[in-house]
A and B are shown apart, each in its own frame.
Chain A
């Protein structure tokens, strides 16, 4: 079950994780999980390009805007993200609201 994040939220998450992996910020999170989240953030628009109908139907049903994409995270990956400091309320809210059906 995916978490739904808008383009700005995905960008914020990517930049925050990038800073941690570059050593510019610190966290207790396992780097491998954060790298996996970066991979997932890159794959979300790929899935939308290859299989646009799948996401469009779910997005339409939920009333999301066109830039909102499903992000699929394991429990460990989500935990690594939630351990980061400085994430906005919008990102935390999307990840804390729980996954929603596609």
Chain B
């Protein structure tokens, strides 16, 4: 993994936004060749979204050829409820950028058949060719998306009942009234986010070579061998213990973010406060690597140059 440590929330948000910006631009998305992005909600990524919007408004970044897949959505909350994740994404991101609404995918927590909705979501991800960059956060109980402690590390998109820790953490968005917080959600699984691109890439390569040989159009999106990347944003002292459990202890289904220790390409972006429970040795090592990490965001590319 890479552990990228910035001084404070604003700097961490900016680093993450620059990273996303560079990945999209370097991918050179175009008609028929979309960059797929997995997206989180909550208070942690707000700063990152603001920076991305800024890059867009400056003309440096377009989301025209970007497809997005959100990680989760509450069950039973009306879609236009101010606390639904649809509202969150619209107000904090979609309404400020130029993404095609057909390419913005969020689970429907009011679907008549919730498991079918989850299966369809997995299929959409597959049809999009997998996810190029999955951006996530971490709960105070170490969960990724709504994969609460005890979730299988091979899980796929499904319905989950929220843990008390999560309900308590979310109460602030519902006037502090625990009874108003939804108790269930649809969420991508740990396995969904862990999905290794190598396998998929292999199949796609075979299909592309075959179609070229035979001279037919299989309609399969052809991409370079581009391995799936995961980026986890963690800021604030209240997340410090979860970060410690996620990266300094073993892989454990009680701290589901720890599953990413087994992913070939994971970046944890955090601020100083989030490192408070880590060993000094860990922090020093990764801080020492910042000059390497910073090559990922400097130079910051712009679509104006194309």
Q: Do A and B bind each other?
A: no
